[in-house]
Amino acid sequence: MMPFLLLFTLLFSSPPAIAAQENPTALVKRVADQLLTILQRERARIERDPRLIYRLVEDLLVPHFDFEKITRAAVGRYWKQASPTQRQRLIEAFRQVLVRTYAQTLLKYSGQQIRYFPAKPGRRRGTVTVPTEVREAGGPPIPVDYRMYRKGNTWKVYDVVIDHVSLVANYRHSFQRQIHSKGIDGLVTRLQAMNRGDSS
Write the DSSP assignment of 156-187 as a string of letters.
Answer: EEEEEEETTEEHHHHHHHHHHHHHHHHHHHHH
What does the domain layout of the chain look like in residue ranges?
A: 4-195
Region 25-46: what's the mean pLDDT?
91
- Listed range (105-109, 122-126, 149-153, 160-164) with the worst mean pLDDT: 105-109
Region 131-155: what's the mean pLDDT?
91
Between 104 and 148, the higher pLDDT residue: 148
Give me the CATH topology for the region 4-195: Nuclear Transport Factor 2; Chain: A, (3.10.450)
What ranges in the chain are assigned the alpha helix state H? 4-12, 16-21, 24-41, 43-48, 51-60, 67-75, 84-107, 167-195
What would the pLDDT profile of 90-131 be if each residue is shown by its tens digit?
Answer: 999 999 999 998 888 888 888 889 999 999 998 888 999 999
Whether the predicted pLDDT of 19 surpasses 60: no
